[in-house]
């Protein structure tokens, strides 16, 4: 029992024996797309890494800023006490005269 396709002339089945002309072009295009995709994935990973580093740096800077803010609040409170003390001394000395 032979397959009836085997008895058909070769020109009726070109898809089985010949490769379309644009197949090679499509294969090259697919390889190009894969390469571009790979590059984009690498760039994305690099950007994610850089973003993580920047977020960590921002966190550190915010912590340092908090310490500076706390110090500034303490200095400001001390300065207010100095001003009030000075004002009290001036008022006291005016009452003495």
pLDDT at 91: 86
- pLDDT value at 7 more than 70: no
Confidence of residue 21 (pLDDT cuts 50, 70, 90): low
Q: Return the residue matching tokens 């490769």.
A: 19
Residues with Cβ < 8 Å from 13, sequence gap 6 or more?
Answer: 5
**Helix/strand/coil for 96:** helix
pLDDT at 59: 98
Q: How far is CA 26 from CA 14, 16, 20, in A?
A: 19, 18, 10
30-81: per-residue pLDDT in tens? 888 999 999 999 999 999 999 999 999 999 999 999 999 999 999 999 999 9
* Mean pLDDT, residues 84-94 taken together: 88
Domain chopping of the chain, boundaries? 8-96
What's the angle, vertex CA 44, arms to CA 63 and CA 27, rounded to 5? Answer: 175
């Amino acid at each position: 029992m032979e397959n009836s396709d085997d008895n058909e002339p070769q020109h009726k089945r070109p898809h089985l024996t010949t490769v379309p002309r644009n197949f090679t072009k499509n294969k090259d295009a697919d390889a190009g797309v894969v390469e571009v995709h790979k590059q984009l994935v690498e760039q994305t990973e690099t950007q994610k890494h850089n973003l993580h580093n920047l977020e960590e740096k921002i966190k550190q800077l915010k912590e340092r800023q908090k310490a500076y803010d706390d110090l500034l609040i303490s200095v400001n409170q001390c300065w207010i006490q100095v001003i009030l003390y000075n004002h009290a001394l001036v008022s006291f000395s005016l009452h003495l005269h």
